[in-house]
Each structure stands twice: as C-alpha cells, then as structure tokens.
Amino acid sequence: MTARSAESDEYPPCGASSALLAAFLRALATLCILISALPAHTAHSIVIGVLAHRPAHEVAQRWHPLAAYLQEELGKGITVRVIALPYDELEAALARQQIDFALTNPSHFIALRNRNPLSGALVTLVPRAQGSGALNSFGGVIIVHPQREDLRTLGDLVDVHIAAVGPFSLGGYQAQAARMVDSGLPLPAAGRLSFVGTPHDRVVDAVLGGHADAGFVRSGVIEGMIAEGRLSAGAVRVLAAETLPGYPHQLSTRLYPEWPLFAAPHVNPDTARRVAAALLLLDADSPVAQALDIHGFSAAADYEAVERLLRSLRLPPFDGAPQFTWHDVWQRYLPWLLAFALSLALLSAAGFRTALLKRRHEQTQRHLAATLNAIPDLLFEVDGDERFIGVHTADPGQLYAPAERFLGCTVAETLPAEVAAVARQAIQEARLRGRSQGHRYALSTANGLRHFELCVARKEGSASTSPSFVCIARDISEAHQTTEALRRERDLFSTGPVVVLNWAPDLSGRVLAVSSNVGAVLGYSAAELCAANVRYTDLIHPDDVIAVTQELQACMNAGPDHFEQSYRLRTGSGEYRWFHDATRISRNRDGAVDAIRGYLFDQTWLKTLELERDAQAAALAKSNAELEQFAYVASHDLRQPLRMITSYAQLLEQELGTTLSGDTRRMLDFVAEGATRMDEMLVSLLEYSRVGRSGAPLSDFPVREALEEAIRFLEPAIAESAAAVEISGEWPHLHACRNELVRLFQNLLGNAIKYRRAGEAPEVHIDASAHPQGWLFSVSDNGIGIEPAQRERLFRVFQRLHTRTEYEGNGIGLAISRKIVERHGGRIWIEAGPGGRGSRFLFILAPRANPTPN
Amino acid sequence: MTPARVLQGLLLAIAIAVLAGACTPAERPALRVASHVWPGYELMFMARHEGWLDSKAVELVATGSATESMQLLASGEVDGAALTFDEVLRLQAKGTDLAVVLIFNISSGADMLIGKAGVDSLAALDGKRIGVEDSALGALMLHKALQAAELPHGAITAVPMTIDAQHGAWHDGSIDAVVTYEPLASTLLVAGGELLFDSSQIPDTIYDVLAIRPAALQRRTGRAALRALLGAHFRALDHLRSNPADAGYRLAIRLGGDGPTALRTFRGLHLPDVHTNHRLLAHGAPRLHAVAAELLAVKREIGAIATSAAPVPQISAEYLPPPNGQRTR
C-alpha cells in the first residue's frame, strides 16, 4: 500500500510531474507580483498547520514542497513552514495563535471555526483524480465481503459489526453515518462499531479478515488499492452503491467538498490574499503540484453540506443539545402537538365516556334488577334445546321446585308431563311465529295449586347461536276463579228460560247485548238482535207496543226504575208468544239512565191459562148474574100470585066460614099456611139475591159501629132471652158496605141467641183481631152447637138442622152471611165453641175490602 | 348533537381516513406528472432518485419534449405536466383546464438564440433560417431577438420544430440558427455555436411552471400527492443549494455529463424558493397575469391568434409548503 492511497481520505494525494519549466516561469512571475505588493514591514514567517492524520513527521515532510513553493511565491522576506499536528494539537495551536494557516478536513474545519475566530475557507484543495484531472468532492464507501449475501441494503447494517476509520473521519465514518441517518436508520451502536484508525486500508483488512461485517472508507480508496495491486477487483462489494455520471469512484454516500485552507484571525488580510492567490495559481502540471500529487487549489467550496452533516450526526461542534425554546417546539412540532393534544383529548373523552357508560351500565343493571324484582311474574329463559338457562322470581313460592334444579335441565325433565306439554307447545309456537300467548296450566307450588298463564317470546341469538326463549308465567289463580264464577253464572243464565237483554239507554229500541239463550227462547241469534238496524219494539205485537213504549218512557222520564209487563213478541218462527218482561233501569249519579236491562220469560202457557180462566170467570159471572136475576125475578114476581092465593084463601074462609067442616077448614088452613111459608121463603130468597145488588155505597167506618147497630136491632130478643153479650178485641175501620156488615152481625148474633140451650141463658162473645189476611172476627156462643159434618151445609140456601117447630127460621141467614163475607173478599167458617160447647162463627175480612158489585 | 356523538364521528372519520389511506390501489398513483428534460424540472427527478418522493403517490412520466407532455396532459393520460407558462396558456386556450401550482424557474438567460458558425451577430440573421419551437415562448424569444436586431419578421424564415428535432436540424444544416434552451444550448455552444440573444435581456418573462388539472385535485389523495411533490421539489432545491457538488452529480443522471457540467446547465436560471413561489403565485399572481397578457399580445402581433381574450389558468399557492417552513436538509 502506498501512502497516497492510504491517505486518500484525510489527505490529498500527491505525485510528481515534469513540466517544471513552465511552473517555474509562472511561479517566478507570481513571485514578482507578490514581492512588489508586499509592504516592507511584512517580512516574517508564516506557519501552516496541516492535520497529522499520519505520523507528524511524514505529513510534514510530504507538505514541505508547498512550504517551499509559498515561500518562493511570497518572497524572500517571508519564511513559510509547514507543521503537522494531530486534531487536538492543531486546535490548541490555533487557539494560541501559533499558526497562521491551517489545512484540515472539512468537518474538522467546521468544528474549529465554531470554536475559534477563523477566516472562512480561503481555498479548497483539489486532489488529482485517478488517472485524470481534478476531483472536487469525495464521499464515503461502505464495503462488505462479497460472500455476505445477507448484507444487501443499508438496513442490513443495523445489527452488524462495522469497522470505520475514526469518529472525525468524514469519508471514513461521518458520510456513511449521515447516509444511514438520512435513510431513517439508527447510527451504528458503539458496541458494534470499531474505529481502526488510518490508513483506510485497515478498514479493508478488517472486513476481509472477518473482524468486521462491513467497513466505512473514503471514496477512491478501493480503486487506489486495486490500481496498486493490493486488492483484487471484486474482493469487496460496495453496499448501497451510487453510480453518478462522471464520478470516477464507487460511492455509497453523498459527496462533500475537499479540504479547505483557512487563516487565523491575526493573519494580515493581504497576506491571506497573497497566499490564496499563490495557491490558486498553482498549476496542476507544476512540479510542486506533481510533488504534492494534487491537482491544485480551487476557490473555496461551500461547506454548508458538511456543517449540516455534523448537525445531523450531532458531532462537534454540534454535539451539545440544541437550544430549543418552547417557540421552536411550537413552530416545529405544531401539527404533532395538535395531533397529540387531539389524541389526548380524544383519549380522555373516550375514557370519560367509557366511565360514563360504565356508570350508566351499572345504573341500568340496577334499574333492570329492580324492575325484574318488581315483576310479580315468574320469568325464565330456555335455550333452543328447551333447557333452562335462567330463572327469576320475586316469590320463590311460585316455583315448582328450587331454582337451582331448573338450570341446565330441559322443560320435559323438570316439569310435570301435562305442564311440560303446554310449555313445549308454547315454545314451539314462539319458535315458529316469534311469540305465543295464552297457554294456561295449573301447577302445585309451595303456594298451593295455582293457575298460570304462559307467554313465550323468541329472543334472537347472534349469527352463530340459536335463538333462546323468554317465558313469563303469570299467576292468574284469582282471575281464574273469577272467570270460572263468571262462566258458571253465564251458564246459569244462558241455559235458563230467562233471556237477559241490555237495551240502549234511550228510546231507540236497540239491543246492545243479550244472553246467549236468546236463540233457544226467542229463535233469534244474539247477532241478529244486536244488529244496528234491528229495533226491539218492531218485534212487539202492534197491540202491545204502545203500552210498552209508554211504560218505558215513563220510566225514562224520572219515573220508577222498574216495570213489569206482559206482551207479545214475534219469535224467529214468525209466531207471537207472550213474554213477561221485568225491566230494570239503572241511573248514574246525575240521574241519567245509563242502562236498561230486561228479563224476559216466556209465559205463553200461563197467559193461555189465564185467558181461559178469565173466559170461564166471565161466563160464570154471567151465569150467576142470570141466576140472581132469575132468583130476584122469581122471588119478586112469584109473590104476586102467592098474595092472590093467600087473599083468595082468606076470602074463601070468610065466605064459607061456618059451612066449613073441620077437615075442610084444616085444608084451607094448610093452603094459607103454605102460602105464608112460601112468601117468607120468597122474601128470604129475595133478600139473599139482593146482597150486593142494592149496593149501599162503600165507606170507611168503624166496624164496631156496625156491630152495635146490629145489637140494637136484637135488643128485644136479647132482653127476652136474658142473653149476655160480651165484646172484646181490637176493632178496626174498614172500607166496606155498612148495611151488609150490620146484617152479617145481626144474622150471626141472632143465631147465637136463637139456638140456645133450653133453660140456659145465652152467652155471646164477639171478638175482633188482626190477622195476616186481614181482620179476624168471631162470634161464640154457649148454644146447642153444630155437628162438624153439618157445618158446611148450613151455609147453603134453605138448609136447616132443626124443624120450624123446634127453632123458627127458614135457613137463609147463614147463606146470606157467607155471601156478604165473600163479597168483601173474605171467608167464613164454623168451629166448635169455647170448651167444646156451643158454636163459634169466624170470618176474615180483607183490610181494605173491595167488594165487587154483582 | 351531543359531544359524545361528535367524538364518535371524529373517531369514525379518523378510522375511515386511515382505512382509505391503507386501501388506495397500488396500481394507479394519485398523481401522474409528465416532464421532459429541463434543468428546472430535474429537481423533481432528483427527489425521486433520492427517495424523497413516494412513487406510489406521484408518478413522474418522462417525455421527449414539451409537446409530448402537452399531448399527454390534453388527453388526460397524466394529471399534470412541467411546462412553460406559455405552453400552459396554449393548453388552456385549447380547452384543457389547468392550475399553475409551482414555478420551477424563471429564465434569465437560459433561453437562447444561437447562431451557427458564420452567424455571429444579430444582424447576420437577415435572410437566415431559424429553428424555433412552435410556441408563444419561441415566438416571443424570436420576436424580442428580431426587435433587438431591428429586423422585420419577414427578414428571416422561421422553421418550426420541437426541441428534440433541433439537434439533428443543427447538424444537417437545415437551419442557420435556433431558439433553444438547456441542455441543448450548452451542447450547441460547445459545438461552436454563437450566442446571439438570451432571456436575460427580457427578465421575469419566461416561467417554467407545474400545471395540474384541477379535476385531479378534487380527490384528497390527489391534493396530498401534489403537496408531497412540491415538498420533494423544494427539498431537492435545498440540497442543490447546500451541497451543489453532490447535487450536480445526481442531476447529471438525467441532464448528462458529469456533476459540474450538470450544474452549468443551471446558468441563467433563477430557481425561486418557497418564499418567492408564494410571492409569485399568491394574492392573485399579478406578475403571471401580466406575463400572460404580454404573451397574448405577442401572439396577436405575429398573427398566431386573432382574439384578444383567452382563458387564463387558475394560479394557486395553496399546495406549496408553508413559507415559514424551515427545512433542516
């Protein structure tokens, strides 16, 4: 390895050339210019410090021709000396102003310039290109062993061991590092990075020797080693190779300007200008350039790229943390700060919302649990296989068995067979139609035998799960009982003969509802009757409808709240039948009619009987009337011829008086007596027929007065027989015919006196008292009494138990008495007297007798 | 709408945006931009070469000439093209709606009128055949050169030809002079051409711009891609400024020659930075409108158009990086 290639990074190559003469002439001319320009007092020495990247004496020796050249160019009064100093010593010498000019690598220049008041770059070294002209820039190369197939891209360098020249080497480390940073890769880690120092060949050796996976060298090093035969072509492979048109070397990084030469601050500007001019005028073909193996010097390059590189790598002088103000942060990271703040806000909001949702969820859970606990029904859920997966009840007594026994078991396994059948049918319906309702079952629970109604709803599962079923069992035992009672009651009505109708609470005649037995009773269906166009009154017989309507209207107009009527209705067969209608009207608080309900009962059979009876009664009354008329006529009209018989019998007796024999006279007496008896009988008969005919007006009067009047009529007989008459009891006022009641008491009292026992004074007791059917009157005596078998016969006309000779009378009195009593709605009968002696006549009169005139 | 709903909406929008970004088809980039070789345009290509431009978002379509770029743009095969402002005006006039979103460079000497050996002065142009692109820019250059030469239009014969035909025409002798630009200009000058007139004599007149079809910017991805493209251009410009030695070699990949040669092609070109772009494109872009008016006037003068009114493209600074953005490299 020659020094030239080894130093090609940090040190411009030097070489030899011929054209000495031309250079000499040009240098001479330059020198003349410089000398003439130099002021007299500028005669002094100039020291040029060169970075000693190699042993100092080697470097100093190499650059000696430049010193000689400059000394020659600047004039004899000025001595020019080149010294080689390592990094730190060069820096120290500059700081102490012990050197006037310095030539070092660009990154070192930047570092020095930031620490010392230096001039800018005066000129830039232009090395000689390989076999050609100038080369203004250089870069870095990344090399790997050609067999390392795993190392292909920059990214592959991250975890491998790298050999580099040194941390301040632009071509041997910094350029490559910057390239990695530029590509978004991290800098090689300290543990994987070895700085092997100059010359750069060491890096190549480290890679080829397997001490490192990759190496960083200056551009041109590889080509130089190959040219000198120290490296075969293809011995190393260049990673991330760039092919730049016209650039002669392989390259992996950006290009950077070559070494600058710059002046210390104390250097006279004129001196600096003259040195720069001398260097710029150095011809590539001059012996000096040849000796230095350089192309020459160019106008100072722009070193901003190097400065940026150092900044990006945080290398001196930019190794300190940059001064960032909040303003810088704000300016530079505004979008990120905003994004971060937004993210934070979103995150906070999301967290807050999550917490809020969690709280709401808990509230909802509590609310749901409270709601569930408030539901009195039994809730359970079964899966698609009818297996219980949840049971909930606020009252465990509703359960057939403890809840734990349900879970995991099927409906069929858990419930009694008949209940399970109902439940499974409900679930099946819900499976097909989404829900089912109304299934009922009875079950023995801890609360006893209870009735339940089951409602099942299908609960859709996710795409992967089958639906489950939510079942609600409601205890309807009370409702069931009510329903049963209602059903029985309905049956009671619907099966009986009474039709219950509900009319509209107006006079429209519309039927709102009717009991279901209407078909059997009336021959209409309930629907027919309740049709909007049907008026109940249209069914009523035309002869009856007015009465019914009027009655109903009267009730509606604040009349009685019920009425009862019988009328004819046209039945479904078209036949009219008699119905008894008990109508009840209910009113609301305001008195308005809110319901009219009728209870219809078919009484056609009864009505038929009634009509027949009325007809018979009418016929009977007519017959009686005719008979009475006959009796009256007979008794009245028969007396006239009888009076003729009596009269003529008396005339005969007077005419024939003395001529009559005893027999004839007796016969004539028989005629007269017969006629008299017949007349008496006719009078009695007439009197009997007159009861109820003469018709004294009815009036209210004290019955006691009638009795007392009767006693006055009988005064002579009472006195004659020394009868004792006792009156007791509570005597009422009655609405009756006074004369007839006097006659009644007269007949009964008279009989009591007349039929007395011989030699015994009659004792008569008359009493009156209230009776459930009216008033009970009795006339008791101590007379001869009446055989029970004869008692009924005595009330017939002309019936006697004794001969006229024993007791006077014609047997009409009791018949008249019975007629009077019956005419006043009462009845009369005979019992044995008190203590079995005598007789007692009893009769009852209705409290308000309403005698029917004959 | 509750705050929670707003949050949900935001999160959803972010999720959709992320998903939409992830789901962008890989086949068709969001923006396709055509460009022929021209130093001002090359920073885009350098950025692409350096990996500063996501080729999935922006595809740079290399063309042989501005004419080809215009054809692709007019036919809709590309969404945008790097063209002279004059070319943009011409496309707009033909019905291709465009928006100027970037000024690559302002010619201050890069456009030249070069004479062959023997045509060494403006006056020598009299009676000569001059190759010129069939564009208002070419016409403008020729117009200004003839003005400077005090020659009427009829004194010369204008030979219309595209830039890629000029080199051949120069050598086969069919023209005596040519209105051209870099990199051909340097080649012709090296080959013995004589610079007779250049755009430094008509400063602030010749602009190279990036024109985009507004339809491509209706999509969010299109707008993002354009911003990325402009950002990459300025990053490359920054690199050219800070490390011209390196940038030169990288520009040489397309411009030809080596690094120093490539840098020389930028002679006579003002590459406006972000600030200058904002100044020129924002606030109604009065300078560009004035240039448009001047170009139209030239066209009228040479009879290229009859009407005085022609549609001017939109000019927008909204896709540029912020003017206060400080790039670190």
- Looking at residue A744, what is its pLDDT? 92
CA distance B214 to chain A (A): 27
Residue B303 pLDDT grade (very low, low, confident, very high; cuts 50, 70, 90): low
DSSP category for residue A128:
B
Highest mean pLDDT among A514-523, A658-667, B78-87: B78-87
Nearest to B7 among A255, A311, A353 (CB): A353
Q: Which helix (H) or strand (E) holds A261?
A: strand A260-263
In whole angstroms, give the CA distance from residue A319 to residue A310: 8
Q: Which helix (H) or strand (E) holds B32?
A: strand B31-35
Could you tell me if A596 and A553 are in contact, meaning their C-beta atoms sit under 8 angstroms apart? Answer: no
- Looking at residue A695, what is its pLDDT? 56
Question: Can you state the angle between helices A662-690 and A604-655, rounded to 10 degrees?
Answer: 150
**Looking at domain A3-133+259-313, what is its CATH homologous superfamily?**
Periplasmic binding protein-like II (3.40.190.10)
Residue A14 pLDDT grade (very low, low, confident, very high; cuts 50, 70, 90): very low
Q: Do B249 and A245 touch (CB under 8 A)?
A: yes
| Long-range pairs for A548-557: beta carbons < 8 A, 24 or more residues apart | A548/A581, A549/A507, A552/A507, A552/A583, A552/A596, A553/A507, A555/A583, A555/A585, A556/A506, A556/A507, A556/A585, A556/A593
Q: Do B7 and A304 touch (CB under 8 A)?
A: no
- Looking at residue A244, what is its pLDDT? 87
- Looking at residue A132, what is its pLDDT? 57
Q: Which residues of A touch B4 (CB under 8 A)?
A: 349, 353
Residue A9 pLDDT grade (very low, low, confident, very high; cuts 50, 70, 90): very low
- Looking at residue A41, what is its pLDDT? 38
Burial of B99 (0-12, 13-18, 19+ CB in 10 A): buried
Q: Which residues of B touch A139 (CB under 8 A)?
A: 246
In whole angstroms, give the CA distance from residue A188 to residue A159: 8
Best CA proximity match to A823, nearest among A735, A692, A688, A733: A692
- What 3-state DSSP class applies to A481? helix
In whole angstroms, give the CA distance from residue B114 to residue B129: 12
- Looking at residue B7, what is its pLDDT? 54
pLDDT per residue over B235-244, tens digit each?
999 999 999 9
Residue A852 pLDDT grade (very low, low, confident, very high; cuts 50, 70, 90): very low
Measured CA to CA in angstroms, residue A677 lies from A223, A431, A750, A817 at distances of 195, 111, 20, 21
- Protein fold of B28-108+205-315: D-Maltodextrin-Binding Protein; domain 2 (3.40.190)
Measured CA to CA in angstroms, residue B208 lies from A194, A291, A735, B205, B271 at distances of 50, 49, 144, 10, 10
A698-845 CATH: 3.30.565.10
- What 3-state DSSP class applies to A98? coil
Nearest to B249 among A182, A255, A312 (CB): A255
- Looking at residue B9, what is its pLDDT? 59
pLDDT per residue over A314-361, tens digit each?
887 887 766 667 887 887 788 888 999 999 999 999 999 999 999 999
CA distance B256 to chain A (A): 7
User: Does domain A138-256 bear CATH number 3.40.190.10?
Assistant: yes
| pLDDT (average), residues B179-192 | 86
% of residues, chain A, pLDDT over 70: 93
Determine contact: B258 vs chain A, CB below 8 A: yes
Residue B196 has pLDDT above 70, yes or no: yes
Determine contact: B243 vs chain A, CB below 8 A: yes
Best CA proximity match to A777, nearest among A831, A716, A723, A701: A831
Could you tell me if A145 and A206 are in contact, meaning their C-beta atoms sit under 8 angstroms apart? Answer: no
- Looking at residue B315, what is its pLDDT? 93
- Looking at residue A607, what is its pLDDT? 87
ipTM associated with this complex? 0.76
In whole angstroms, give the CA distance from residue A313 to residue A307: 10
| Residue B153 tokens, joined | 């239009």
pLDDT per residue over A47-85, tens digit each?
999 988 777 888 888 899 999 899 888 886 888 999 998
Measured CA to CA in angstroms, residue A333 lies from A327, A339, A348, B14, B328 at distances of 10, 10, 21, 20, 13
Q: Do A332 and B246 touch (CB under 8 A)?
A: no
Burial of A619 (0-12, 13-18, 19+ CB in 10 A): exposed
Question: Can you state the angle between helices B244-255 and B220-242, rounded to 10 degrees?
Answer: 120
Query: SS3 letters for A759-826?
Result: CCCCEEEEEEEEECCEEEEEEECCCCCCCHHHHCHHHCCCCCCCCCCCCCCCCCHHHHHHHHHHHCCC
- Domains of chain B, by residue range, sit at 28-108+205-315, 111-201
Q: Do B245 and A350 touch (CB under 8 A)?
A: no
In whole angstroms, give the CA distance from residue A713 to residue A721: 14
Q: Do A311 and B250 touch (CB under 8 A)?
A: no
| Residue B90 tokens, joined | 């011409």
pLDDT per residue over A700-711, tens digit each?
889 999 999 999
Mean pLDDT, all residues of chain A: 85
| Residue A141 tokens, joined | 């190369």
For B4, name the nearest residue in chain A, comparing CA atoms only.
A353
The most distant pair of C-alpha atoms in chain B lies apart, rounded to whole Å, by 83
Residues with Cβ < 8 Å from A461, sequence gap 6 or more? A384, A467, A468
Residues with Cβ < 8 Å from A726, sequence gap 6 or more? A763, A764, A765, A766
| Residue A483 tokens, joined | 């329903």
In whole angstroms, give the CA distance from residue B132 to residue B159: 6
Residues with Cβ < 8 Å from A112, sequence gap 6 or more? A90, A91, A94, A102, A104, A118
Residues of A with a Cβ under 8 Å from any B Cβ are 136-137, 139, 182-183, 244-247, 254-257, 301-302, 304-305, 308, 311-312, 331-332, 346, 349-350, 353
Could you tell me if A580 and A501 are in contact, meaning their C-beta atoms sit under 8 angstroms apart? Answer: no
pLDDT per residue over B12-42, tens digit each?
555 555 444 444 444 689 999 999 999 999 9
User: Does domain B111-201 bear CATH number 2.50.20.10?
Assistant: no
- Looking at residue A26, what is its pLDDT? 47
Nearest to A244 among B11, B249, B329 (CB): B249
Q: ∠ CA(A494), CA(A496), CA(A502), 5° rounding? A: 55
Q: Which residues of B touch A174 (CB under 8 A)?
A: none
- Protein fold of A505-593: Beta-Lactamase (3.30.450)
| pLDDT (average), residues B157-172 | 89
- Looking at residue B4, what is its pLDDT? 54
Q: Do A255 and B243 touch (CB under 8 A)?
A: yes
In whole angstroms, give the CA distance from residue B36 to residue B43: 12
Cβ atoms within 10 Å, residue A352: 13
- Looking at residue B298, what is its pLDDT? 77
Q: Do A254 and B4 touch (CB under 8 A)?
A: no
Strand partners, A841: A779, A830
- Looking at residue B11, what is its pLDDT? 57
Could you tell me if A342 and B6 are in contact, meaning their C-beta atoms sit under 8 angstroms apart? Answer: no
- Name the amino acid, one letter, at B213: R
Q: Which helix (H) or strand (E) holds A552?
A: helix A542-556
Could you tell me if A203 and A215 are in contact, meaning their C-beta atoms sit under 8 angstroms apart? Answer: yes
| Residue A296 tokens, joined | 């020459």
- What 3-state DSSP class applies to A237? strand
pLDDT greater at residue A17 or residue A551: A551
Q: Which residues of A touch B242 (CB under 8 A)?
A: 302, 304-305, 308
pLDDT per residue over A89-127, tens digit each?
888 888 888 899 999 989 889 988 888 888 888 999 998
Determine contact: B322 vs chain A, CB below 8 A: no
The architecture (CATH level 2) of A375-483 comes to 2-Layer Sandwich (3.30)
Phi, psi (deg, nearest 5) at residue A321? -65, 130
Residue A648 has pLDDT above 80, yes or no: yes
- Name the amino acid, one letter, at B112: M
Determine contact: B214 vs chain A, CB below 8 A: no
Could you tell me if A3 and A54 are in contact, meaning their C-beta atoms sit under 8 angstroms apart? Answer: yes
Residue B273 pLDDT grade (very low, low, confident, very high; cuts 50, 70, 90): very high
Phi-psi region of A759 (alpha: psi -120 to 50; beta: other; left: phi over 0): left
pLDDT per residue over A525-534, tens digit each?
888 888 888 8
Residue B211 has pLDDT above 90, yes or no: yes
Residue A397 has pLDDT above 70, yes or no: yes
Residues with Cβ < 8 Å from A89, sequence gap 6 or more? A52
| Residue A854 tokens, joined | 């004959």
Residue B325 pLDDT grade (very low, low, confident, very high; cuts 50, 70, 90): low
Best CA proximity match to B35, nearest among B8, B10, B62: B62
Q: Do A246 and B10 touch (CB under 8 A)?
A: no
In whole angstroms, give the CA distance from residue B56 to residue B32: 10
Q: Do B242 and A254 touch (CB under 8 A)?
A: no
pLDDT per residue over A257-298, tens digit each?
999 999 988 888 888 999 999 999 988 888 888 888 889 999
Q: Do A332 and B326 touch (CB under 8 A)?
A: yes
Could you tell me if A3 and A228 are in contact, meaning their C-beta atoms sit under 8 angstroms apart? Answer: no
| pLDDT (average), residues A234-244 | 90
Nearest to A346 among B7, B249, B261 (CB): B7
Phi, psi (deg, nearest 5) at residue A257? -65, 155
Mean pLDDT, all residues of chain B: 85
- Looking at residue B8, what is its pLDDT? 61
Lowest mean pLDDT among A4-13, A289-298, B126-135: A4-13
Best CA proximity match to A284, nearest among A5, A7, A12: A12
% of residues, chain B, pLDDT over 70: 87
Q: Do B7 and A255 touch (CB under 8 A)?
A: no
Residue A820 has pLDDT above 70, yes or no: yes
In whole angstroms, give the CA distance from residue B64 to residue B45: 15
- Looking at residue A10, what is its pLDDT? 44
Residue B91 has pLDDT above 80, yes or no: yes
